[in-house]
Structure 1
């Protein structure tokens, strides 16, 4: 009951404020003017009555006194007329003011109507905004609930991942121990084989010596021309009458002279190639921003996967020691890690400000080190995908290697012609070596005793890391490196090295004697080699277990070479 009365009072007050208060001054002024008009009309009537009385008095009273009274009345009449004129003038002015005020009132009414329309529109907008706010609040609540659910799922997945990672770590440690045991067994087998070979050589040498001595004695009996005992002096063999009795054990590795397979690997230039350490799988990367895995067990290689994620061309590829992960570096300043089994992108490491030229595992599978054109080396924690250390080098890095899976030592090659040796626990390099020109790539022998360096002066240096000096320099009159990132490599027993050349050929040298042994020729129109590389070879990679070689270049082609027919 009180509500509708209060609403009526409020509406009356609102009507008074809209219809009365705005015109209150005008109404008061108008009432004042009406009062003045009524007063003037009464004065006019009174003066008219007095005038008539004076006229009748003048008509009745003639003479000097009457004239005097008439003049007095006439003056009074004139003054009253002037006053009346003034009042009419003021009335006209007040009327004009009333007209002006009415016009102003109409203008204010129009403005008020516009304001009312705007107010109504703003009220409608406000109502729609309130509805949107309610909708957004409900959506936010829903997203919060969804976020909570996802966090719970992420926590569960993280726990599962930690458990699987722990299992993987134990399996990798077991695998590492097995590899060490396998290396030990192979070393024992090699020592045993060397002992058997030496025993065989001694027995064979003694046998040949006895046979020759018997032959000499028989000859001396039949003829009187004895053979000098100096002719029978050979420690590793016997050379008599042009007979070469040196005994050589066939080398375990041979030169890959036959083309095993060729295929179009990418849509443009191919800049990187790497063999998987455990399977017959080759990884290639090119300017088409893709990293591809190929099964080369058959002469027609099968594409296993296309690993994507890079936004620019790939510069280098590397596997971990178990072949579980593959790393790719790119011109888009990033390092990416994929799993070989399910071909999924696991980690994207970003932080360099220039293109990344190389990356290796530093402590499998937890840490990775990368080298970039931004003159830094960065150590990454793979578990958190974060950079945990930055080493400022002072020169662009072209390539790097780590001495083992634990990553105690790092070797990096740079634009300023220096090879830098790092201890991971120290900020600055523990040593460096100056070469004649900038270094394009590095490769380390399996025993970590020898380092291979390709230098931009078209030579390849073999370093003995135990003595920290240059052991041999490999070159050829027609050999020229194709680019600043050309990759060279050791074969599986470090007895041979291979490198691609700018003319599309591949050169192979023997590390034991420094000789150039093989030339796998490139494109030559009109010859049988026209199916090989038709442009510069950028990178080569040896098989980790046999005498097979993969090569890629500025063309789209990848070729696999083998020593088998």
Structure 2
């Protein structure tokens, strides 16, 4: 078995060897051929290298130089491309700027043309207005001359009218005396006739009747004179002035002598009315609304406050603006002349100050600082040493103008801001009006409230509504929110009369003629002034004539 396996292996090995010899018989030739090819290629390469070895260095230098040039060119090209982008952006920006400038130039040229046309038009208008102003100045000169003539005529007529009224009153007194004498004579004759019918009492009755008649005669005369000077409350106005202003009416005031009454309005104008002729004059010069008015004692000057923070004084003789007082930094709501010195004025403002002005110097001589805005003020003595002011914080304050110090603060009088302050005719008391719909009558010497006037129908509808005493001190009048006029009697403290249906909006103020013959009321939105006849003379005259 071992021999057989060995023979088998030898056989396989022999077969493999024969196969290898058969398959690799060309291997040597192929290897030799490949070796020869390698040598040929080697020699070829060597020959080629020897052939170009002379130019190789030069070519490499050129190649290196070209490479460097190519690198420089790439660098320059990159820089040029970047510069081109930058220049394109700059060109685009410049083109946009040029377009904007062209548009602006077109707009400027168009605006210049418009302004030139407007300038030409305004030049023409100015030329026309210069001509109109010249015409108006000529007309004004003629009107002023005519006004001077008319004023002289009115003054003479007023004087004559006053003389006629005095003569008429004297005649009425004489007639009344005659009527009293006739009545006395009639009663005496009647008593004598009765005494003759009853002789038993003839010794006593005639004497007693005569003594009674003689004692009653003087009292009748006194009663008649008292009626002539007393105030009779009216039922309706005897004259109504409608739409006298272009804006709302804010205030109304009567002069001290009774010659004028005036109204101030939102339209920045003052209407000055002559009581006798009922002609009106317009006083202008204010820049904003007129808030209060006051006359001096001789009616030579009128002072008015305004919401433009200033106070102005007009000369009523020339109807021209005499002074403009500036210094407040808030709306000025009250101004009063010092009664004994018309060259001094006191003003109250919402800037919480009260100022005393000297008109001869034209500046403020004293500033009094308060704790609240001043709605109204009044002068308590003729020399103006003591002032009383009503404020937004519901407080009534008294001031010493010499030192500028406060005398007394009356707090808690009202539950709403005080809208007006009025001094009684005797100077011993003050009337305040408030937004709490009450009026307080205050004894200024004892600092006590004498009475509170109020009514279910009375409502104060304006922050500057002015109430007032009648000249005889017997009545207190105030205007309401609904246009009504409430009048209280200071003797019995009762509501005496309510005048309704004549004003259509809130009443801003009530003013009395200095002699008590008329009462003036004004409403705000309806722009109406009502004049009420409160004098007994006309009623007495009409009764006697009947």
1:344 partnered with 2:326: no
Cα deviation for residue 515 of structure 1 reads 6.0
Evaluate the alpha carbon distance shift between residue 105 and residue 368 of structure 1 in structure 2; reply closer, same or farther with a 3 A threshold: same
Which residue is equivalent to 2:528?
A: 557
SS at match of 2:64: helix
In 1, are the aligned partners of 2:468 and 2:476 still within 8 Å (CA)? yes
Alpha-carbon distance in structure 1 between the residues aligned to 2:322 and 2:296: 15
Q: Deviations over 1:17-67 (max 9, x none)?
A: xxxxxxxxxxxxxxxxxxxxxxxxxxxxxxxxxxxxxxxxxxxxxxxxxxx
Q: Where do residues 51-450 of structure 1 align in structure 2 (5 Å cutoff)?
A: 75-91=53-69, 222-223=199-200, 248=223, 250-251=225-226, 252-255=229-232, 257=234, 259-264=237-242, 265-278=244-257, 280-298=259-277, 301-311=278-288, 313-331=289-307, 333-340=309-316, 341-344=318-321, 346-347=323-324, 349=326, 351-353=328-330, 355-361=331-337, 367-380=344-357, 389-404=366-381, 406-434=383-411, 435-438=413-416, 439-445=418-424, 448-450=427-429
Q: Which runs of 5+ in 2 are unaligned?
A: 1-47, 98-180, 540-546
Spell out, residue by residue over 1:249-307, the C-alpha distance to the aligned partner (whole angstroms, 9 max, x if none): 62224326373421113345423101133462221123444332223323xx3331152
Partner residue in 1 for 2:137: none
CA offsets, 1:198-257, max 9 Å, x none?
Answer: xxxxxx9xx99xx9xx99xx99x95379989xx99x99x979xxxx98953622243263
In structure 2, relative to structure 1, the CA distance for the partners of 1:74 and 1:406 (3 Å cut) is same
Deviation readout 1:298-342 (Å, 9 max, x if unpaired): 3xx33311525343x433222233434333334455444444333
Please identify, of 320-329 and 469-478, the stretch whose mean Cα deviation from structure 2 is larger: 469-478
**Distance between the aligned counterparts of 1:320 and 1:472, measured in 2?**
30
TM-score, scaled to structure 1: 0.54
CA shift in 2, pair 1:93/1:330, >3 Å:
same
- The structure-2 alpha-carbon separation of the partners of 1:481 and 1:80, relative to structure 1 and needing over 3 Å to count, comes to closer
Query: Are the equivalent residues in 1 in contact too, given 2:472–2:516 (CA < 8 A)?
Result: no
Following superposition, the deviation at residue 421 of structure 1 comes to 1.1
In structure 2, how many angstroms separate the alpha carbons of the residues matched to 1:98 and 1:488? 98
- Assess, with a 3 A threshold, how the Cα gap between structure 1 residues 322 and 106 changes in structure 2: closer, same or farther: same
Summarize the alignment of residues 16-55 of structure 1 with structure 2, pairs less than 5 Å apart: none
Q: Secondary structure at the match of 1:80?
A: helix
Tell me if structure 2 keeps the 8 A contact 1:309–1:345. no
Aligned residue among 446, 464, 467 for 1:488? 467
* 1:474-533 Cα distance to aligned partner (Å, 9 max, x none): 55665554444321223444454433344534344554x34669636221xxxxxxxx32
1:521 equivalenced with 2:499 (yes/no): yes
* Structure 1 residues 558 and 73: alpha-carbon distance in aligned structure 2, compared to 1, 3 A threshold: same
1:560, distance to aligned residue in structure 2 (A) = 1.4
Alpha-carbon distance in 2 for matches of 1:93, 1:77? 24
Structure 1 residues 316 and 78, CA gap change in structure 2 (3 angstroms)? same
| Structure 2 counterpart of 1:548, from 518, 533, 536 | 518
Within 1, Cα distance between the matches of 2:354 and 2:441?
Answer: 24
SS in 1 for 2:427: coil
Any stretches of 5+ residues in structure 1 without a counterpart? 1-69, 119-203, 524-531
Number of aligned residues? 388
How many Å separate the matches in 2 of 1:478 and 1:95?
A: 106
Q: CA 1:81–1:450 in structure 2 vs 1: closer, same or farther (change >3 Å)?
A: closer
In the alignment, the residues of structure 1 paired with residue 220 and residue 321 of structure 2 have an alpha-carbon distance, to the nearest angstrom, of: 59
Q: Note if 1:499 corresponds to 2:499.
A: no
Instruction: Judge conservation of contact 2:451–2:493 (CA < 8 Å) in 1.
Output: no
Q: 1:256 to 1:308 in 2, by over 3 A?
A: farther
Q: Which moved more, 1:545-554 or 1:464-473?
A: 464-473
Give, in whole Å, the separation in 2 of the partners of 1:547 and 1:389: 38
